[in-house]
A = this chain, B = another copy of it.
Amino acid sequence: MGFDLGTTLQKMNILSDTDNSSVVAINLFVTLLCACIVIGHLLEENRWMNESITALFIGVCTGFVILLISGGKNSRLLIFSEDLFFIYLLPPIIFNAGFQVKKKQFFRNFSTIMLFGAVGTLISFVVISLGAISLLRPMDIDLEIGDYLALGAIFAATDSVCTLQVLNQDETPLLYSLVFGEGVVNDATSVVLFNAVQNFDLTHINTTVALELVGNFFYLFITSTILGVVAGLLSAYIIKKLYFGRHSTDREVAIMMLLAYLSYMLSELFNLSAILTVFFCGIVMSHYTWHNVTENSRITTKHTFATLSFVGEIFIFLFVGMDALDIEKWRFVSSSPKMSISVSGILLGLVLVGRAAFIFPLSFLSNLTKKSAHEKIDFKKQVTIWWAGLMRGAVSMALAYKQFTSLGHTNVRGNAIMITSTITVVLFSTVVFGLMTKPLVRFLLPSSKQLTRMISSEPATPQSLTVPLLGGEQDSLNDLYGQNITNGQASEASGVGQNMPRPNSLRMLLTRPTRTVHYYWRKFDNAFMRPVFGGRGFVPYVPGSPTEISVRHFPEELEKAARTLH
């Protein structure tokens, strides 16, 4: 909603008539969002479909209907604005990613994630840029060197939402955290690359400029991370200092949301990588702030962030689908359909090659550093990771619009071809590759619940009430008593809350190289950070905080009361 709001806000006239079109647009969009959610729910058990593809389909169909109604003039009610995308839709999605990430897994695989996300994206960027220069230049499309480099950044941005919907965080924790982590770092890297390409003077490329680019990249990476961490710690400190013992849930939730958003916008203001900032803000908030608020606030924030992210994602796919049929940009292309098809084909091929060019070599490198077989990425997993990053989505679209349009209109032939090719690649990869993801993952990774279920956050049956709790807690227990693990007491400690034997995780624990770093971090965290900023187990206990207790038991008792009435 609100894409067309621009014009509305400009007019600022009487609500009733002038902005009727924007009211219609909002109505249509909200209705379509509801339809997507309901249909997505109904198709959940389906073998091929997922929510993204459903939204894309509905978007394309709606675009087609609007096209028919408007007599072939228009397929969209709202103009795609990459500002709206970057200022309103992306922040909740990325923040939620950081907020819900299993920090343990993420930091355990940090080096591999950075290798794939940063170095890999850079390789992909170079391959696609060089490929575009050598293959597209002879085709007589008037693009400059900056455009080719921008193409590299645009098509280096993956969209792993599809695959993540299929992978199971509990069944394949290593794979999930790699795909997930790479996705976020990849988003940040490609946006930083894109901005770098746009800002630097690219007519004279030499070693100095290249070094400056690299230096700039690391500067952005570090400062953005620091800003996110500071914002997260600030929220933890404020809530711990001010709100202790009070029960104003609204204030807590509001402060958390506002500070998260503020971190994103501050980063945007300082021209840093806002994606990275808000991602790390999410991680810090879930580690400290979330434990300082009341239980109601915890449940509320957790689900609100997830819902916002969920709706944002559907909205984007719906929109991309609707925008795909926009007639204006196809007009230029219709004169030379062959060229458009071949450009799309070339770009799609470059995407496939560019990704293969780093996944397999970097996996090999990563495997060299790992001793345990369970930490190595076998060939099947490499193929899965490769596949997971083939989809191109909203970030690519937004960057393409930024580079190739002015005012949302595509009136230069070269630009129109690039926009339509981007749409073709996004649609094709999301739909065709997306549809094949579920079957492929099931083929490559047959369900292995018994073997790899390690840190299950949800109980399989209601009977095992305490299992997930202590299973989740266990990691930190192990770390707190890290010294005990070596003399064998750990198996006893883990046995407390875990019914099934866990030889894999124990062996991993003993052999993983990051253990020492992590151990000292936990010591520092427990000795300094948590006492100051709060966090699990470090929030002073409020004896019998009434709101918490009453609300927790309230609906349960209500249900009982209701049942006895019958």
Cβ-neighbour of A253 out of B81, B304, B545 (below 8 A): B304
- Using CB atoms and an 8 Å cutoff, list the residues of chain A in contact with chain B: 3, 5-16, 19-20, 23-24, 26-27, 30-31, 33-34, 37-38, 40-42, 79, 81-84, 86-87, 195, 198-199, 238, 242-243, 246, 248-251, 253-255, 257-259, 261-262, 265-266, 268-269, 271, 295-300, 303-304, 306-307, 310-311, 401-402, 405-408, 458-463, 465-466, 468-470, 473, 477, 480, 536-538, 541, 543-547, 549-559, 561-563, 565-566
In the complex, which residues of chain B have a beta carbon less than 8 angstroms from the beta carbon of A460?
A: 546
Interface pair B27/A262, CB less than 8 Å apart: yes
In the complex, which residues of chain B have a beta carbon less than 8 angstroms from the beta carbon of A265?
A: 23, 26-27, 30
CA distance A257 to B295 in the complex (A): 22
In the complex, which residues of chain B have a beta carbon less than 8 angstroms from the beta carbon of A258?
A: 30, 33-34, 37, 311
List 29 interface pairs A-B (beta carbons < 8 Å), by A numbering. Answer: A6-B9, A6-B10, A9-B84, A12-B79, A12-B83, A12-B401, A12-B405, A13-B406, A15-B83, A16-B271, A23-B265, A23-B269, A27-B262, A27-B266, A38-B255, A40-B251, A249-B307, A250-B303, A253-B303, A296-B303, A300-B300, A300-B307, A458-B547, A459-B546, A461-B546, A462-B546, A469-B561, A536-B562, A552-B556
Interface pair A295/B469, CB less than 8 Å apart: no
CA distance A406 to B14 in the complex (A): 9
In the complex, which residues of chain B have a beta carbon less than 8 angstroms from the beta carbon of A458?
A: 546-547, 550
CB distance from A467 to the nearest CB of B (A): 9
CB distance from A527 to the nearest CB of B (A): 13
Cβ-neighbour of A31 out of B26, B262, B296, B303 (below 8 A): B262
CA distance A550 to B461 in the complex (A): 10
Q: Which 7 pairs show the lowest CB-CB distances between chains A and B?
A: A537-B562, A6-B9, A462-B544, A300-B303, A253-B307, A30-B262, A250-B310
Main SS class of interface, A: helix
Cβ-neighbour of A469 out of B14, B298, B550 (below 8 A): B550
Q: Which residue of B lies closest to A467 (CB)?
A: B550
Cβ-neighbour of A16 out of B16, B199, B552 (below 8 A): B199
In the complex, which residues of chain B have a beta carbon less than 8 angstroms from the beta carbon of A5?
A: 5-6, 9, 83, 87
In the complex, which residues of chain B have a beta carbon less than 8 angstroms from the beta carbon of A462?
A: 543-546, 549
Cβ-neighbour of A83 out of B3, B9, B249 (below 8 A): B9
Cβ-neighbour of A307 out of B83, B257, B477 (below 8 A): B257
